Amino acid sequence: MFGKPKAAGGKLGIYIHIPFCRSKCDYCDFYSLAGQEDKMDSYQKALLAHLKETAFAARDCSIDTIYFGGGTPSCYGEKRLRGLLAAIKKYYQVSKDGEITLEANPDSVDFKSLKLLRRAGFNRISIGLQSARQRELDAVHRPHTVEQGDEAVAAARKAGFANLSLDLIYGLPGQTISSWQDTVEHALALEPDHLSCYGLKVEEGTPLAARVAQGERLLNDDAQATLYLWTVSRLAKAGYGQYEISNFAKPGFASRHNLRYWLTQPYIGFGPGAHSDFGGRRYSWLRDLDGYIKGVLEGGKLLDTEDLIPQEERGSEYLMLRLRTAKGIEEWEYRGTYFMDFGPIEERLRLFEGQGWAEKTAEGRWHFTPKGFLVSNQLIADLLERQEHARLSDLLPRAQARFQGRK
Ligand code: SF4
């Protein structure tokens, strides 16, 4: 099996991937399987073994976020979920105020199971509502109704979840500006503490991609941009601060686990396809349920990818990930951590500022505006190009000096 991760200290997040779903949604390219419930028990055995054997490497870490994502964790059965959380608490040092999130779909939760999960320690729930129009849910084969979404929110609140998030998707087939606005209003009436609003993406190999290839038309980029900018301003009025491109929260309710990805803080993932950034390495497990179970329980191949991350790559990650957040980037943070010149980056940011895409705060932090978030991929690609250029121009004189020193 894969060599043990190098021990590390400090704060750490744990991600548990539950790769089971009732059925597949047309747009989904996450690693998740429908109709494989018979494998849940062996998967549980593998996860428990993997958690136990990794614990030693994380013995000096304080676990301050745990995230059960998928797939659909809520269809895995509350008993198994409680078993996993109990094992994490047994083998790892979980902080008292740790954020412990469960992703759930409306059709696989009820008050009784949510109450048991809340009592076991889950303290945040993220419910996949996606749309308040049945026709739009049906158009992508979501496995639940709008009413089930409302009932799931009520059951979660009654079970004691004081930190509740809803996921919504804009750009669904058949959606219009006004039906999206209705969905947002419907979600606001449910009073979530956090909202994630994602633009629909047509991922290669999905049934949706096949439909589009056969001529089905979706909202174009301009229409999606209109929906996005309307959403940012509507949610701001309702008291939800935008802290990342697609994420909005009432004060104090930003997802600590998701922020750790964008702020490049360490985490360990468990399950097929799960990624980790731990002990100075980034690695991921096989995207194959049977292979993962076999790899853990019988010692076969388990590792899919593994990289040691050089400092300059960390510098690129800093730009790519931090600029997704409202916190943005700052000159001395960048210079002091990655030893790179901020000048060429700032020059471009000033240009972006002129276009209304970026802003500099009074504290000297640069961040994108909502208009900038819309084109963030292009803006970040531009900054990475400047960074690479600056790095190479810095390397050349150093290499020349070394060469001359040898003569
Ligand atoms: S429920 Fe979520 S993970 Fe499962 S198929 Fe649908 S989008 Fe994908």
Range from 100-104, 398-402, 403-407 carrying the lowest mean pLDDT:
403-407
Ligand 1 center–CA 67 separation, angstroms: 16
Reported as a pLDDT band with limits 50, 70 and 90, residue 307 is: confident
Residue 136 pLDDT exceeds 60: yes
Stretch among 77-86, 214-223, 393-402 having the lowest mean pLDDT: 393-402
Question: In testing the pocket of ligand 1, which one of 20, 22, 25 has its CB within 8 Å of the most ligand atoms?
Answer: 25
State the residue for tokens 């804009």: 170
Angle between helices 311-322 and 376-406 (to 10 degrees): 160
Distance 112 CA to ligand 1 centre (A): 23
Q: Tell whether ligand 1 has an atom less than 6 A from the beta carbon of residue 266.
A: no
Q: Is the pLDDT of residue 364 over 50?
A: yes
Is residue 322 within 8 A of residue 355, CB to CB? The reply is no
What does the pLDDT average to over 98-119? 97
Longest dimension (CA), the chain: 78
Distance CA 289, CA 301 (A): 12
Pocket lining: 25 vs ligand 1, CB cutoff 6 Å: yes
Confidence (pLDDT) at 309 = 77
Closest CA to 327 of 240, 241, 205, 203: 241
H helices of 59-145, in order, are 78-91, 111-120, 134-139
Mean pLDDT, range 248-259, rounded to an integer: 97
Residue nearest to atom 3 of ligand 1 (CA): 71
Considering only CA atoms, which of 94, 11, 51, 9 is closest in space to residue 265?
A: 11
Q: Which of these, 130, 12, 126, lies nearest to 68 by C-alpha position?
A: 126
How many Å lie between the centroid of ligand 1 and the Cα of residue 142? 8
SS3 (DSSP) at 306: strand
Percent of all residues in the chain with a pLDDT value above 90, rounded to a whole number: 85
| Reported confidence tier of residue 1, pLDDT bands at 50, 70, 90 | very low
Q: Where are the alpha helices (DSSP H) in 121-203?
A: 134-139, 146-158, 177-189
User: Torsions phi, psi of 282, nearest 5?
Assistant: -115, 130
What is the structure's pLDDT at 3?
47
Span 34-61, pLDDT tens digits: 999 999 999 999 999 999 999 999 999 9
> Does any ligand 1 atom lie closer than 6 A to the CB of residue 28?
yes
Does residue 72's CB lie within 6 angstroms of at least one atom of ligand 1?
yes
- For ligand 1, is residue 30 a contact (CB within 6 Å)? yes
Packing angle of the helix pair 221-237, 177-189 (nearest 10 deg): 30
Residue type present at position 9: G
Q: Which atom of ligand 1 is nearest to the CA of 29?
A: 8
Q: Which residues contact 167 (CB under 8 A, 6 or more apart)?
A: 126, 127, 128, 129, 130, 196, 198
Atom 6, ligand 1: residue with shortest CA distance: 25
Number of alpha carbons in the 13 Å side-chain half-sphere of residue 332: 2
CA of 33 to the centre of ligand 1 (A): 9
Q: How many Cα atoms are found within 13 Å in the side-chain-facing hemisphere of 173? A: 19
Does residue 32's CB lie within 6 angstroms of at least one atom of ligand 1?
yes
22 CA to middle of ligand 1, Å? Answer: 8
Nearest CA owner, ligand 1 atom 2: 71
pTM of the model: 0.92
Confidence at residue 2, expressed as pLDDT on a 0 to 100 scale: 44
Give the model's pLDDT for residue 404. Answer: 53
Closest ligand 1 atom to the C-alpha of 105? 1
